[in-house]
Every structure is written in structure tokens, then in C-alpha cells.
Amino acid sequence: MPGCKTRVMDLAPAATPEQLDALEAQIDAWLAAEQAVNPMIDAVEKGEREVGHQQRLWYVRLLGEEKDVWTAYWTINQRMFRFETFVMPAPEENEQAFYEHLLMRNRELTGMNLEIGDEHAIFLAGSLPIAAVNDAELDRVLGSMWAYVEKVFRPALRIGFASRFGS
């Protein structure tokens, strides 16, 4: 709507400390169970950081086929569950074709987007309101991240770093 500056995260109610504790325990349990049966999960670590409020973090190290190893960063704060991963650095060449390829791939992604971050690096990221997080969504998020990195990485690498491949 024109003139509307309300963001989704502004509409989501802030979670109580008890709700955040319960969600943290749910994510811990889901990751532990998934790591026990999913050979693509190499390691899971936790952390916290203070950004005006406590953010709870998970680092999920994954094994891929196209991109050998990468880490999904999961964060919960007062309103949102955010997930992201570094896909690759900025291209060394063929910038127009590289970014065109990523924008076209973005149309195929559901629930997350390719983004340009610090130093023009490429990230895959998305978020959900805290209230929407459940085991099925955690499974969808991790599975989608894995599939999207696999789908995007090699073709983008061959475009943005073509001379390294003798192309």
C-alpha cells in the first residue's frame, strides 16, 4: 500500500522470555534429533549476543555436494526467527551476468531470498515470526537452505569466477 511503512516484524508480538526459552529448547531438541539421523549435518554449535536484547544463535555446519561445507546461521530474538548463510563472495568478473543469474534464481526460491551483504558477498536469508516456528518449519527451512545453496552455488561460481575454471 502506498505510504504504508509497517513491516511484518512490527506486527508480530514480542515473545515473552518463557516463550523464547521454550522455542530455544524446541530448536535444540529438533537439531539434536536431526543431527542424529541426517548425515548432511556435520556440527551444531550455540551462541548468544547482546544487541539491545539477547539474541540466541545456532551455527549449523552442513555438508553439501556442490558447495562442500557451509554454515546456516539461525537466530531468534523477540519477534523473529532469522536464518541465513553465506553463499559466496562478490564476483570477480561477469558481474552483470552473475547478478542476472541470481535474480532469476531468486524467483524460484520460496520463503527466502538471495541478498547482497557486506563487501557485496552473496547470502541466502529469510525469516519467520516466532509464533510460526515449529518442527515442520525447521525441517522446511533447513532442507530448503540446503537445496537452494546446492542449486545456486555452482552455476553462479562458474559465471562470477569463470577465468578460474578456464571458461
Check residue 2 and give its pLDDT: 52
Contacts of 10 (CB under 8 A, 6+ apart): none
Check residue 1 and give its pLDDT: 47
Residue 113: φ, ψ to 5°: -140, 155
Alpha carbons within 13 angstroms on the beta-carbon side of residue 85 total 24
How many Å apart are CA 151 and CA 154, to the nearest integer? 7
Chain-centroid distance, C-alpha 50: 20
- Torsion angle of the four alpha carbons 128, 133, 138, 139, in this order, in degrees rounded to the nearest 10: -110
Global pTM value: 0.88
How many Å apart are CA 75 and CA 157, to the nearest integer? 27
The secondary structure of residue 108, as a DSSP letter, is: T
What is the per-residue pLDDT across 22-39, written as a single tens digit (0 to 9) for each? 999 999 999 999 999 999
User: CATH code for 8-160?
Assistant: 3.30.1460.10
What is the per-residue pLDDT across 41-91, written as a single tens digit (0 to 9) for each? 999 999 877 666 668 999 999 999 999 999 999 999 889 999 999 999 999
Q: Domain ranges for the chain, please list them.
A: 8-160
